[in-house]
Amino acid sequence: MADIGESGGFGAGASVLLETDRLRLRRFVPADADALVELDSDPEVMRFLTGGRPTPAEVVRAEVLPRLLRGYDRHPGLGRWAAVDRAGGEFLGWFALDAPTDGDGTQAELGYRLRRAAWGRGLATEGSLALVRYAFTTLGLRRVWAETMAVNAASRRVMEKTGLRYVRTFHLDWDDPIPGTEHGEVEYELLRAEWTAGDRGR
């Protein structure tokens, strides 16, 4: 894993958070707007988020990306980072450690969103493992958690491979529910004490 540095390839010059064998996670920059629009326009990528509806390009450019950029200063060490292929420099998606809305600085929510071309290669687990290590060793967080739809089996497998354990199933009220919401949402978590006691802490 790399310390903060400078990236090469896609988004050259952006600050790098960390690197894994195949991934480079770096800060988003304004020039990433097109890549984010493309990511959120794939109905399969958005299946368990919006039922497959794309995020409008104007929303990505005027709301989503500016919010991501502001977040780096608002919550130092946390946020969403562009995932870039270390070998070829292509944009693959993003990974996140999002600050909780209640302001609890001891925990963060793990998330990711990857292009379809990056699926099935273990990249989601690879990036998530690196962020969990960063959360506990660099940031000193107490807890990392993640949520997804109960029917999203692929994301649940990633959470389990990353070391998170199932906590609960809960139901939310949606104005415009998508298929599968009737089965609820699931929450997974990993505590630093558990991580330190396990293989990932050694």
High-pLDDT (> 70) share of the chain, %: 91
Instruction: Report residue 12's pLDDT band, with 50, 70 and 90 as the boundaries.
Output: low
| Confidence check: pLDDT of 9 > 50 | no
**pLDDT above 90: residue 69:** yes
Structural domain boundaries, residue 62: 5-201
* Cβ-contact 32, 12 below 8 angstroms: no
pTM for this entry: 0.89
Cα–Cα–Cα angle for 182, 184, 187, nearest 5°?
170
**Domain CATH number, residue 81:** 3.40.630.30
Per the structure, the count of domains in the chain is: 1
> What mean pLDDT is predicted for residues 118-126?
96
